[in-house]
Amino acid sequence: MILKMIDLSLMAEHLTVHKAELDKLESLICSIQESEIKRVATEQYMIMQNHVKVMVALMDPSQNQMIGIQDLHKWGTCPI
């Protein structure tokens, strides 16, 4: 998939917002006491982290041909 320059610049801007949100969510998760809320927040963190990884891969012309919707579901371990 070849992304147009406007798409790339929008994604780059969008990416910085996501990274800031991940940082905020990470510090929030550390302070949550309720286990169910902590579990949901951790899942949201992992979903957002995968979204960021897919965006970065789409921006890389050497990788973006191999990226698909299935990559959004490759949950890794949460670093928190």
Give the side-chain half-sphere CA count within 13 A for 42.
Answer: 15
* Per-residue pLDDT at 31: 93
In three-state secondary structure terms, 78 is coil
- pLDDT (tens digit per residue) in 9-65: 788 888 888 999 999 999 999 999 999 999 999 999 988 888 888 788 877 777 666
Residue 43 lies in a domain: yes
Cα separation, 48 vs 5, whole angstroms: 24
* Per-residue pLDDT at 1: 53
Q: Which domain holds residue 15?
A: 7-71
DSSP string computed for 17-59 = HHHHHHHHHHHHHHH---HHHHHHHHHHHHHHHHHHHHHHHHH
Residue 78 lies in a domain: no
Residue 22 lies in a domain: yes
Residue 77 lies in a domain: no
Residue 80 lies in a domain: no
Number of independent structural domains in the chain: 1
